[in-house]
Amino acid sequence: LALAYLAAALRAAGASVQVVDRENQGEETLLRVARDLRPHLVGVSVAMPMLKPALELAARLRRALPDSVLAAGGPLTHTHAPELLTAGGFDLAVQGEGEAAVIELARVALEGRPGLAQVTGLAGAVLRLSGGVHSNPPRRPDPDLDALPMPALDLLPAASRLVRHPLAGSRGRAAALLTSRGCVYHCRFCYQYPFKQVYRQHSPERVVEEMTRLNRRYGTVHFRFLDDLFTLDRARTLALCQLLCRRLPGVSWHCGTRLDLLDRELLRELAGAGCRVVNFGLESGDPDDLARLSKTSRRDPTEVVQACVEAGIDVIGQFILGFPWDTRGSMLARARHARRLPLRAATFWPLIPFPGTPLYEEALRTHGEFDATFFEHTGLDDPGPLFSPVYSPPGLTRREVGRYAAWAQLAFHARPGSLVRLLSAG
C-alpha cells in the first residue's frame, strides 16, 4: 500500500511514475526497469525485515544509476537512517508520511543529484552533509486523510494488487485497504514512530467509495482492512457499517482490533456489514503478562471471543512466546489458554524484540540468548527470524522457544474440532 499511496500522490502532481514490487517481480526486473527508464528519482520503501536486502539493492541501483536521486522511506527510517545513508549509499532517508514529501522530492530530483542541496529544507529528511548525518525538522502527519488520493493499485503488478484469500471464493482475490492511520496505545513490543502515534481516519464515505471502485474495476468481493485499530472510533465504525450495508451489500471483509474496542451491538453491526473474521493480538491470557507489555484490557478474552462467535464472526488469535520473563511453564500455560478459547485459528510467534521498541532494551538487559543485530544479516528472502527465534529468555535456548512455538501451533490445530473449523474457512 505504501508504494500505491506514493505513486498516487506523484501521479496527481503530474509526474510519470513506475512502481516495481521487488517482492513479487524480483530484483532483476527492478534493475532492468531502472536501467531502461533512467529515472530522476528512485524511492525504496524499507521496513525492518527488509534492511539487508534494501542496502544491497541500493548499492546495485547506485552502480546502475549514478545520476539518479536514491531515497529511502518507510518505518525503518525512524531508527536506522544513518545506516541507510552510510552502509546503503542512499542519498537521503525520509521520515514520516511520504505523500507530500515525495512530491517535493521529485521536484528537487528533476535537477539530478546536484539538486539535492535544496533538500536541506525538506521536512523529515535525513541526509549526508559534509559535517556528517543531518536531520531536518520532523514532518507533521497529514491531518486530513481524505485529501490524499486513493492508492494507485492500478500501477502495481497484478500479483501485488490483489491476493488470494479463502473468503474471496475459489477464483476471487482480496484487496487491502487502510481506513485509518496510527494507534493510541503503546504496547512494549510494537515499533513506535512519531506519525503512528497520531490517530486519524478516513470518512465512511471515502472508505466505501474506495471499496466500490475496487469492486467495479477488479470484481473484488473480499477486503482486508489493515488498520492497527479498526474499531477505535465506535461512532465511525457504526456509520461505516451502515453505509456498507446500503451501498455494498454482499461483500465480505476482515479486520483487526482490540478486545476492549468491541461490544455485542457493534459486533452485530460488523457482521451485518460483511465482517467475517476479526484478528486479535491476544499475546497472552495472563493479566500479569499483559501488564508487563503495557497492553492491559479489562475485558475477558473468553467472553469477547465467544461474543464474536455468537455474532457469526470467526476469531483469529495471535500469541507471543519467549517474553524476557517467560519460563517453560508460562509458555505451556499460554498455549493451553489458547486451546480453551473458541478461536478459528491461532498463531504462536516467537518474540522478535525489534530495535526501537522498549522490549528490545529489556531483552538486551536480560541475560538470555539474543542475536541483537539479526536484522543486519537477514531479510525476507531468508525469513529465518520469523520462524527460528532471535531471542530466548534466561534459562531457555532459542531453539527451545522455537520448538515450543511449533508445538503450540501443532497442539492447537491438530485437535479434530480445530481442524474442521480451519478446513471449513470460507
Give the bridge partners for 321, in sequence order: 350
Query: HSE on the CB side for 367, CA within 13 Å?
Result: 1
Residue 181 or 311 with smaller CB distance to ligand B12? 181
Which of 264, 300, 265 has its CA nearest to residue 280? 300
Which of 365, 355, 369, 283 has its CA nearest to residue 49? 355
Q: CB under 8 Å to 419, separation ≥6 — which residues?
A: 413
Distance CA 364, CA 151 (A): 39
Residue 164 or 340 with smaller CB distance to ligand B12? 164
In the complex, least distance from residue 309 CB atom to ligand B12, rounded to whole angstroms: 23
Residue 204 or 256 with smaller CB distance to ligand B12? 256
Where are the alpha helices (H) located in 19-117, listed in sequence order? 22-25, 27-37, 51-64, 77-86, 99-109
Sites of contact with ligand B12 (CB under 6 A): 1-2, 5-6, 43, 45, 47-49, 71, 73-76, 94, 97-99, 101-102, 178, 190-191, 226, 228, 349, 352, 354, 356, 380, 386
Residue 307 or 374 with smaller CB distance to ligand B12? 374
In the complex, least distance from residue 32 CB atom to ligand B12, rounded to whole angstroms: 20
Q: What does the CA dihedral 100, 101, 103, 106 come to, rounded to 10 degrees? A: 180
In the complex, least distance from residue 2 CB atom to ligand B12, rounded to whole angstroms: 3
Residue 306 or 376 with smaller CB distance to ligand B12? 376
Residue 191 or 218 with smaller CB distance to ligand B12? 191
Distance CA 297, CA 181 (A): 21
In the complex, least distance from residue 256 CB atom to ligand B12, rounded to whole angstroms: 8
In the complex, least distance from residue 263 CB atom to ligand B12, rounded to whole angstroms: 24
Nearest 5°: phi and psi at 348? -115, 110
Distance of CA 347 to the CA centre of its chain: 17
- How far, in Å, are 97, 283, 382, 402 from residue 399 at the CA level? 38, 20, 17, 5
Residue 342 or 356 with smaller CB distance to ligand B12? 356
In the complex, least distance from residue 314 CB atom to ligand B12, rounded to whole angstroms: 17
Which of 309, 224, 289, 298 has its CA nearest to residue 261? 298
In the complex, least distance from residue 352 CB atom to ligand B12, rounded to whole angstroms: 5
Nearest residue (beta carbon) to ligand B12: 73
In the complex, least distance from residue 227 CB atom to ligand B12, rounded to whole angstroms: 7
Which of 70, 219, 209, 196 has its CA nearest to residue 148? 209
Residue 266 or 321 with smaller CB distance to ligand B12? 321
